[in-house]
Structure 1
Amino acid sequence: MAGKKRRVAIRIDMTPMVDIAFLLLIFYMVTTTFKPPEARAVELPMSHSQIELPDKDIINITVTKDDSIYVDYVQVAEIEIEGQLVTTTVRYVRTCDKYNVSSEINRARAKILTALLVIKADRNASFGIMDDVMSSMQENHLERFLIITDQETTASEGT
């Protein structure tokens, strides 16, 4: 029995694998682009219809429950830097009132000619401010726009 060899335990160092895992995690966190935060939280009304909005060329007109109006849009431009074509995006968010909402919309439409107008109004916003926004759009011959709502679910869909 004295001639038996002692078993040596094999030990695998896990430190390099943990380092690589955390480096990959940090890399994905840094390179991932998230949805930009909303200008204000808006509680949308309910609707039955569903239309997919395009990813670009949208001018959002947001009306909050305290009757604040925000016009925001994203402008995409391609510029040449050192012989390479680089795409840049700039997001504009402008606060306006019922008197200058049409001028802000016209300013945004001048930068994005083919833009789709989208109204995102809180369900608790006053009717008067919505009427003012839509009237100012009609005065400027902007009669085609979409109103964003939440999808209404029936009792059978919810359970």
Structure 2
Amino acid sequence: MSTNIFHLNQLTNMAEIQPSASAAKDGKPRARKVGFRLDMTPMVDLAFLLLTFFMLTTTFSKPTVMTLNMPKPDEHSSEIPASKALTLILGKHNQVHYFYGVNDARSQPELHTTSFASEGLRQLLLDRQHRKPGSVVLIKPTNEASYQNLVDALDEMSITNQKKYALVDLDRTDRELLKQNGL
């Protein structure tokens, strides 16, 4: 019973008007000044209730993760046959330079250029997968390539369902090939 009276008193005291009488020195009655006090406690409680409600009912963005399989340390790197290799060199200005095979002292590959658009790199990977199933894609980023270029290339591997691909360092013969082609 006493708690109900306390709540009733609290509700009546939320906004109360306190009149104050004032009389002029010459005896004429003046307008009454009304003091107003607003209790903001219920508004704060409501704000916290709403904040809690929206925090508990919202869904946070789920992190996207890409699986990366690394070779075992005791395994030696295996040679990739040139007939099954497709080498991608990620260059500046969002360009992808590519050639079929591997670049070594015995061969002089023909360098082609494409973009990260769906009719560019994706179409190249799908055509290669259709013509030579089981091929290996070697991804070699240059110093001028951005991190986004590497992420885009890895996304294309996932989109086109490439089974075998590897990130490889750019070597001297690849740099010479780029210089010969004016890139």
Bigger relative contact order, structure 1 or 2 (CA pairs below 8 A, ≥6 apart): 1
TM superposition score category, shorter chain reference? 0.3 to 0.5
Please give the TM-score of this superposition, normalised by the length of structure 1.
Answer: 0.46
Larger Rg: 2
Query: Which has more strand, going by share of residues?
Result: 1
